[in-house]
Amino acid sequence: MRAAIARLRSAAWLGWQIDTNWADPFLFIVYSLLRPIATGLILAGMYWAVSSRVPARGMFTALYLGNAFHNFVTQVVIGMGWIVLEEREEYETLKYVFTSPLGLPMCLAGRSVVKLAIAMFGVVVVMAVGWFALHLTWDWREVRWPELSLALALGVVATVSVGFLVAGLGLLLPRPAIQINEGLAVALYLMCGVIFPIDLLPAWLQSIALALPFTLWYEALRRFLLGHGASARISHWSDATLLGALALSTLAFVAIGRLGYFALETRARRLGRLDQTTLF
Amino acid sequence: MCPRTHSTGPAIETRALRRTFRVSPRTQALSGQSEVEALASMDLRIESGEIFGMLGPNGAGKTTCIKILTTLLLPTAGEARVAGFDAVREPNEVRRRISLVSGGETSGYGVLTVRECLWMYSQFYGVPGQVAWPRVDRLIEIVDLKTEQHTRINRLSTGQRQRMNFARGFVSDPEVLFLDEPTLGMDVNAARTLRAFVAEWVREREGRTVLLTTHYMAEAEALCDRVAIIDRGHVLACDSTPALRRRVQGGQHVELEVLAPNGVTLDLTALTGVAAAWGAPHPERGTRTLKFRLPEGGALVEVLRRLEQAGARVDGIATRETTLEDVFIAVVGRTLDDSGSADDSRSGGSAT
Ligand SMILES: Nc1ncnc2c1ncn2[C@@H]1O[C@H](COP(=O)(O)OP(=O)(O)OP(=O)(O)O)[C@@H](O)[C@H]1O
Ligand SMILES: [Mg+2]
């Protein structure tokens, strides 16, 4: 047990060393802060451009919040896909991690903790920018902390679970891994109601969006922090329904993430792809 | 650290181990085969405490075998056991007891220093800090990286990174250590030091086993208790080096340096008892080495006559004791140093 904790801690330490690579603090700041801030500001620009027709400031705050929290997806979900690539192609250490008692899943878990922390830091900064620079504010007395905390916890679990799935795909498909990571980042950005409410999606895409934990997560965060969501479709749901759906979707993705990751890992092990270097 | 398994069984055992790979459509069009058999049906038994060598030309299946044993790859069929555990069904038990070093690799986390990286790997194995630090420091001295220990890995030279990678294999003090061409690309001095260290490491500790693959005959000869000669996924011979040498004893080992004009072919298969193979060409002198063994009372004159008839000139001649390389030639039918051009140097000695 003590050894297992030491192992996990070493993976987190490694993640910290790599992800915060202080030798290049500029890149670190660009990657972890400027990007989410930039997307927030672009979003702001877009909304002000059309604000003569869409005067809904509350709607914009809701979208800005979703955009801020989407940082978890870009940093952690997609980040876990990048870990596999990095370990295999850049450092060529994947096979040594894989054949050590730490194992790749634990390494991913340990390193995802660091990515979660960096993502959270980014979320706080982006929200602060929204609050002070864009005057996107809410009433702190109206915030429903228990529900918000529950939603936050569920979202974090879902994030890491989907991250494992992406990592597993990276193991099995070394060559298309980059496109998968990039493509998924864009797809989730458009699908999960980050920059526009899912009500604008075609009906069939809406159904998919509603099955994804991130869509439900952002709506729950908006509702419990701001008092209202961004999607008209979801706003008809009761709090219990929304939290229940989020819990169900999270649970489903925990199972899919776990089973999927191990299935993909085994397949990669069968095909001999674990130590294939293909890019650099 | 996990408790050692004090089983009396072998450290490594494979039974009818087979592995095939599907080949790319392009390769298939060239070879007409849909899959390549990396391991045919490999039976190996390596006892605890042994340094065991695997010798074979490129593509023989050495790395494939190591990948299966280190849980990186699943076999197509057969059984692989390490330290008493099944590498397919009990990979976690196996991983606690093994370590792997692939030579010629420059792996390592560029952002860490040598010392940090080695320490971190020891933590991957859960080695307690008070054990890990002295061990890391000792290994740094052995691989001669003391002055570079606080240098980031991405600032190390290729050879230095390889030495760090070598040290990494020992930080967990594994029960079974897999060394896949560990000294590949290292300078002569470094290779010699590290070989001596491997020998000492196994001698000093009870129940440690090393499986080593190499292209250097001298390395296998100096280091290994037993050697398996493998080719195309088959174990062709497996014994101690003296026993292997005895197999081809009798007669004389002759090396001729031959100046052979292009287009000249030479067939020695007709000569009874002569197993010949072309060694590496010496482009600077325009010659090639022809290595062969003459049986007792052998026909050296006949060989020379045939060479002359073929229009080739002999530039030098040497005879010597049996080495592992002779065994290799006798068993595999070609030398190891030119296995890249294996197909024009098959036994029987025909050269163009
Ligand atoms: N992932 C793979 N896909 C397809 N074929 C493979 C794969 N890995 C190995 N092979 C094939 O299996 C055979 C054995 O390869 P292996 O790497 O085990 O050889 P080796 O004995 O280690 O050779 P070397 O001395 O060159 O390292 C080769 O023919 C190789 O082309
Ligand atoms: Mg090899």
ipTM: 0.89
Q: How far is the CA of B58 from the centre of ligand 2 (A)?
A: 7
* B104 assigned to some structural domain: yes
* B95 assigned to some structural domain: yes
CA neighbor of B247 nearest in space, from B266, B224, B229, B272: B229
* B335 assigned to some structural domain: no
Mean pLDDT of B34-43: 93
For every one of its 280 residues, what pLDDT tens digit does chain A have, with 9 covering 90 and above? 777 888 889 899 999 888 877 556 777 777 778 888 888 888 878 777 776 555 577 888 898 999 999 999 989 999 999 999 989 988 999 999 999 999 999 999 999 999 999 999 899 999 999 999 888 888 999 999 999 999 999 999 999 999 999 999 999 998 888 888 888 888 998 999 998 889 999 999 999 999 999 999 999 999 999 999 889 899 999 999 999 999 999 999 999 999 999 999 999 999 999 888 775 4
Q: Which residue has the tokens 């961004």?
A: A230
* B255 assigned to some structural domain: yes
For A22, which residue in chain B has the nearest alpha carbon? B111
* B157 assigned to some structural domain: yes
* A45 assigned to some structural domain: yes
* A176 assigned to some structural domain: yes
* A179 assigned to some structural domain: yes
CA A89 to chain CA mean position, Å: 23
* A278 assigned to some structural domain: no
Angstrom distance (rounded) from CA A233 to CA B293: 86
Element (H, E) at B282: strand B275-282
B95 touching A (Cβ < 8 Å) = yes
The one-letter amino acid at A16: W
Beta strand pairing call for B176-180 and B209-214: parallel
**CB contact (8 A) between residue B121 and residue A270:** no
Q: Could you tell me the end-to-end alpha-carbon distance of chain A, in angstroms, rounded to an integer? A: 38
The one-letter amino acid at A279: L
Q: Is B188 exposed, middle or buried (0-12, 13-18, 19+ CB in 10 A)?
A: exposed
Our answer on whether the CB atom of B70 is closer than 6 Å to any ligand 1 atom is no
State the residue range of the domain holding B313. 250-321
B74 touching A (Cβ < 8 Å) = yes
CATH code (residue B165): 3.40.50.300
Beta strand pairing call for B12-22 and B77-82: antiparallel
| Residues with Cβ within 8 Å of residue B194, at least 6 apart in sequence | B142, B143, B163, B166, B182, B183, B186
State the residue range of the domain holding A52. 2-271
Mean pLDDT of B297-316: 80
Question: Is the pLDDT higher at B285 or at A66?
Answer: A66
* B44 assigned to some structural domain: yes
The total of structural domains in chain B comes to 2
pLDDT for B290 equals 82
A203 touching B (Cβ < 8 Å) = no
Q: Which tens digits make up the pLDDT trace of A163-185?
A: 999 999 999 998 888 888 888 88
Rg of chain B taking only CA atoms, in angstroms: 23
**Chain B closest CA to A25's CA: distance in Å?**
13
Q: Which residue's CA is the nearest one to ligand 1's atom 17?
A: B63
pLDDT for B270 equals 67
Q: Which tens digits make up the pLDDT trace of B176-220?
A: 999 999 999 888 999 999 999 999 999 999 899 999 999 888 889
Our answer on whether the CB atom of B38 is closer than 6 Å to any ligand 1 atom is yes
CB burial of A140-177 (b: ≥16 within 10 Å; e: otherwise) equals eeeeeeebeebbbebbbbbbbbbbbbbbbbbbbebeeb
CA neighbor of A214 nearest in space, from A161, A174, A170: A161
Q: Under a CB-based contact definition with an 8 Å cutoff, are residues B140 and B146 in contact?
A: yes
| Beta-ladder partners of B98 | B176
Q: Which residue's CA is the nearest one to ligand 1's atom 27?
A: B58
